[in-house]
Amino acid sequence: MSTIDIKEILSQLTLDEKIGQLVQLPGEFFKDDASTTITGPSAKLGLNKSYEVYNTGSILNVVNPVLIKEIQEKYLANSRHKIPLLFMADIIYGYKTILPIPIAQACSFDFEMIKKGAEVIANEAYNDGHHITFSPMLDIVRDLRWGRVMESFGEDVYVGKQYAQAMVEGFQGNDINEGHIAACLKHFAAYGAAVDGRDYGAVDMSLQQFYEVQLPAYKAAIEAKCKLVMTSFNTINGVPATGNKWLNRKVLREELNFNGVLITDYAAIKELVDHGVAEDTYHAAKLALESGVDIDMKTAVYANEIKSLVENKAVDISLVDEAVLRVLELKKELGLFENPYRGLINPVVKFSEDMKKEIALNLSSKTSVLLKNNGILPLKKNQKIALIGPHGKQKGQFGMWAFTGDRELSVDLKTALEEEFDSVSYAEGSNILLDYSRLGFSANGGNFMDMFPVKNQQELEAEAIDLAKQSDVIVLAVGENMMESGEGASKTNPTLSEPQKQLIYKLKKLNKPIIGVIYAGRPLILSDIESYFDGLLYAWYPGTYGNISNAQILSGKINPSGKLSMTFPKSVGQVPIHYSTYRSGRPILAEDVAYRFTSRYLDETNAPLYPFGFGLSYTTFDIGEIKTTRKEFGSSSLPIVSAVVKNTGTTFGEEVVQLYIKDLVASISRPVIELKATKRIKLQPQEETVVEFQLTQEDLSYHDQLGNLVLESGEFLVSITNVSSNISNHDIIKLV
Ligand code: GLC
């Protein structure tokens, strides 16, 4: 552990040097010599000419290890105080080896493997000289119009807590300097709850919802000692997170007891002016600093404004010192004062390439979800397969937040299928979109539409139909273009694109079995095409090796065990829809009872197409009658609930056994059901096991209107099942 005295260091810094520690800039500021920097990026960012670039505290998104070393060396050579730079980057769900996207990883319900995956990511990044990753993203999402569903763990509070802990422990390990990196949870807070389902949109909700639904995943990350927190772009009940004193001082620092570094999201401080809560950047700097923001990511606001705020006595220097000390403490914890190059010169290789691939495959074998199988799957080795679709021969199906991924390392579905089957022929069959202009352009002028050429749709279709005619079975690899999910990718109608649907309609006329493999960063509305498929596998964005698992699921080498981490609606009009919905005073009697004056739609069922926790297997499992060690109990003698689970099929399989509760009567109306625990079990054919869950006080507690956690006596329904829509196996227990 470093013995550096950071208070001593602070006392030797000038005000300009203190402010510099709170500024994060991209690497381009250190590429050339000072003169071009000042006229180039400095001018672009609007930095005062007086700003000393060699006072800067941290660097954003430099991912080339050679450049990281060069910048650190150059900085230390030119800096008066010689405080090393922090390097921070978006290494969200993969570095060189890209894992399945987070919402897919959540479908595994295998939090040990998720943690292992994060360890692999951290180790790859550590050895390239990285210090901090802007991950895990812990925004709970119940609105699939919002594109960043892709980076989330989905809709459930319990899954969020487990995922948060797994990712932080995986990234940071027991010793952050032994092949690990610091985690930065984001986006604090409630970023995924935009009232209009649009990215960067306003968030407005009760304190009860905020504490009950939004906060738990962030809280779990902080309890797992997450080193940094990133503010979110959105307002919460009218106040932008990046200038929100209640959120950052009271909730984050006092209630959650977080003492680490709070960094803003990209240019978010400046957006306080756009939000209309700051008159100018001088005012924005004051709001952010007073709300407890330590580092300003990628604007000139802190750099240009803090000095005059202090000199005008508009803020006290103690606020600056407090922020600088947190940054210095982080640098100390990362051992930078002793070794500014960490893994770059002292690599710690924990995983061989084979081990990394094995871990990635273990995870990806559980992330794709089998949604439909009329018996066509698994396919036979000698069946002639026509692989059709724009995703069939696509490498680098990583999703938007994996720009460090090694595309050449990735395996496309065609290559993977050829390992499993004797005859696989391919035709692209369709464009994903016929017009990419809506993908938009980025601030630095890049036009995403230029990345994707549009080909002749008729020719693509004709070639595919010819190929399909000569085959026994069609595997259709369709879905979203990778830029249709992620940041800035909100949609009002998240279905399969029209050209891909046209291809399906035409192929269906050939009367061949069709297995859909769908690649997307969010649940898509599949109601209008579901009936065209004989088998349907949801592959999300599978990462570097995920298609090997997908091919082995189609061949039966792997028995699928993924369960949906998010509800699949029948129509976008049901959104926001999730399994743990609140009760109504007029619940529907049943989907087929058209009693008008109940909480229902005239034009759609309340039920989704596929519910949370749903996923098919090639075997069947029987969950026996639930047992409880006691029906009535006090808060210090909570029961164990259990059930015998049997593999009643003919092949080995894994099942995700789920424990739900329903608080029958409470001071506020509680959800119809809530997931409180899961266990993954492996069973050979005809093998059975007893699955036990020890209930905890937390399982039976909830937050009241003021956000206080309460445990009330009363009756609870408790169910052990394997999908949220079937709680028939239940018992009633009573807390006295
Ligand atoms: C982006 C994202 C955030 C990311 C940051 C740095 O706008 O909102 O998730 O970590 O900027 O790239």
- Looking at the DSSP bridge assignments, the partners of residue 667 are none
Mutation to probe ligand 1, out of 263, 266, 299, 442 (largest number of atoms < 8 A from CB): 266
- Looking at the DSSP bridge assignments, the partners of residue 386 are 425, 474
User: In the prediction, which pLDDT does 534 show?
Assistant: 98
- Residue 603 appears among annotated catalytic residues: no
Mutation to probe ligand 1, out of 135, 228, 265 (largest number of atoms < 8 A from CB): 265
CA distance 562 to 38: 52
Whether the predicted pLDDT of 730 surpasses 70:
yes
Other CB atoms closer than 10 Å to residue 635's CB: what's the count?
Answer: 12
- Looking at the DSSP bridge assignments, the partners of residue 372 are 536
Q: Supply φ then ψ for residue 517, to 5 degrees.
A: -120, 110
Q: Counting atoms of ligand 1 from 1, which one is nearest the CA of 134?
A: 10
User: In the prediction, which pLDDT does 2 show?
Assistant: 84
CA distance 651 to 46: 64
How many A from CA of 645 to the centre of ligand 1? 43
Q: Supply φ then ψ for residue 245, to 5 degrees.
A: -60, -40
CA distance 575 to 106: 20
How many A from CA of 345 to the centre of ligand 1? 28
Tokens coding 615: 């996923």
- What average pLDDT does range 320-331 have in this prediction? 98
User: In the prediction, which pLDDT does 392 show?
Assistant: 98
User: In the prediction, which pLDDT does 31 show?
Assistant: 81
Whether the predicted pLDDT of 34 surpasses 70:
no
Q: Counting atoms of ligand 1 from 1, which one is nearest the CA of 151?
A: 9
Tokens coding 225: 């000692």
Mutation to probe ligand 1, out of 58, 62, 90 (largest number of atoms < 8 A from CB): 90
The SS3 call for residue 285 is: helix
Tokens coding 608: 């989704």
- What average pLDDT does range 198-205 have in this prediction? 98
Tokens coding 75: 């900085």
Strands (DSSP E) contained in 9-79 are 23-26, 58-60
Q: Which helix (H) or strand (E) holds 408?
A: none
How many A from CA of 388 to the centre of ligand 1? 35
Whether the predicted pLDDT of 55 surpasses 80:
yes
| Ligand 1 neighbour 487 (Cβ under 6 A) | yes
- What average pLDDT does range 222-229 have in this prediction? 98
Whether the predicted pLDDT of 584 surpasses 70:
yes
How many A from CA of 224 to the centre of ligand 1? 22
**What residues have CB less than 8 Å from 499, skipping those under 6 apart?**
430, 431, 432, 433, 434, 457
CA distance 222 to 185: 8
How many A from CA of 300 to the centre of ligand 1? 17
Nearest to 622 by CA among 693, 681, 699: 681
The bridge status of strand 730-735 relative to strand 632-633 is parallel
- Residue with more model confidence, 445 or 262: 262
Q: Cα–Cα distances in Å, from 63 out to 118, 334, 471, 727?
A: 18, 18, 45, 48
pLDDT category of residue 60 using cuts at 50, 70 and 90:
very high
User: In the prediction, which pLDDT does 654 show?
Assistant: 98
| Ligand 1 neighbour 212 (Cβ under 6 A) | no
| Ligand 1 neighbour 271 (Cβ under 6 A) | no
Q: Counting atoms of ligand 1 from 1, which one is nearest the CA of 187?
A: 9
CA distance 350 to 125: 12
How many A from CA of 186 to the centre of ligand 1? 9
Nearest protein Cα to ligand 1, atom 7: 266
In this structure, are residues 676 and 659 in contact, taking their beta carbons and an 8 Å threshold? Answer: yes
In this structure, are residues 442 and 477 in contact, taking their beta carbons and an 8 Å threshold? Answer: no
- What average pLDDT does range 662-689 have in this prediction? 98
How many A from CA of 489 to the centre of ligand 1? 14
How many A from CA of 621 to the centre of ligand 1? 42
- What average pLDDT does range 649-676 have in this prediction? 98
CA distance 372 to 568: 13
- Looking at the DSSP bridge assignments, the partners of residue 525 are 495
Radius of gyration of the chain, Cα coordinates, nearest whole angstrom = 26
How many A from CA of 29 to the centre of ligand 1? 19
Residue 627, Cβ density class (10 Å: 0-12 exposed, 13-18 middle, ≥19 buried): middle
Nearest protein Cα to ligand 1, atom 6: 266
CA distance 283 to 269: 10
In this structure, are residues 483 and 448 in contact, taking their beta carbons and an 8 Å threshold? Answer: yes
Which residue among 265, 412, 663, 699 is the active-site one?
265
Q: End-to-end distance of the chain based on CA atoms, in angstroms?
A: 49
| Ligand 1 neighbour 134 (Cβ under 6 A) | yes
**What's the residue count for the chain?**
736
- Summarised one tens digit per residue, pLDDT across range 127-178 is 999 999 999 999 999 999 999 999 999 999 999 999 999 999 999 999 999 9
Mutation to probe ligand 1, out of 88, 91, 132, 134 (largest number of atoms < 8 A from CB): 134
Nearest protein Cα to ligand 1, atom 12: 90
pLDDT above 90 coverage of the chain, percent: 95
- Residue with more model confidence, 38 or 296: 296
Nearest to 626 by CA among 536, 494, 542, 726: 726
Whether the predicted pLDDT of 38 surpasses 90:
no
| Ligand 1 neighbour 563 (Cβ under 6 A) | no
In this structure, are residues 579 and 724 in contact, taking their beta carbons and an 8 Å threshold? Answer: yes
Strands (DSSP E) contained in 241-285 are 261-263
Q: Counting atoms of ligand 1 from 1, which one is nearest the CA of 137?
A: 9
CA distance 641 to 627: 6
Rounded to 10 degrees, the C-alpha dihedral 444/448/453/457 comes to -150
- Looking at the DSSP bridge assignments, the partners of residue 313 are none
Whether the predicted pLDDT of 526 surpasses 70:
yes
Q: Counting atoms of ligand 1 from 1, which one is nearest the CA of 266?
A: 11
Strands (DSSP E) contained in 608-710 are 621-623, 627-628, 632-633, 640-647, 653-663, 674-683, 688-694, 702-703, 709-710
Nearest to 26 by CA among 357, 267, 362: 267
pLDDT category of residue 1 using cuts at 50, 70 and 90:
confident
| Ligand 1 neighbour 186 (Cβ under 6 A) | yes
Within 13 Å and on the Cβ side, how many CA atoms surround 216?
23
| Ligand 1 neighbour 265 (Cβ under 6 A) | yes
| Ligand 1 neighbour 90 (Cβ under 6 A) | yes
The SS3 call for residue 418 is: helix
What letter does residue 438 receive in the DSSP assignment? G
- What average pLDDT does range 427-449 have in this prediction? 89
| pTM for the predicted model, two decimal places | 0.98
Nearest protein Cα to ligand 1, atom 1: 266
The bridge status of strand 674-683 relative to strand 653-663 is antiparallel
| Ligand 1 neighbour 151 (Cβ under 6 A) | no
CA distance 38 to 697: 58
What letter does residue 90 receive in the DSSP assignment? -
| Ligand 1 neighbour 139 (Cβ under 6 A) | no
How many A from CA of 384 to the centre of ligand 1? 45
Nearest to 122 by CA among 62, 197, 56, 174: 174
User: In the prediction, which pLDDT does 37 show?
Assistant: 73
Nearest protein Cα to ligand 1, atom 10: 134
| Ligand 1 neighbour 266 (Cβ under 6 A) | yes
* Sign, Cα dihedral of 205, 206, 211, 216: negative
- Summarised one tens digit per residue, pLDDT across range 493-521 is 999 999 999 999 999 999 999 999 999 99
In this structure, are residues 487 and 442 in contact, taking their beta carbons and an 8 Å threshold? Answer: no
Q: Counting atoms of ligand 1 from 1, which one is nearest the CA of 92?
A: 10
- What average pLDDT does range 340-347 have in this prediction? 96
How many A from CA of 265 to the centre of ligand 1? 6
Nearest to 542 by CA among 103, 68, 17: 103
Mean pLDDT of the chain, nearest integer: 97
Whether the predicted pLDDT of 444 surpasses 80:
no
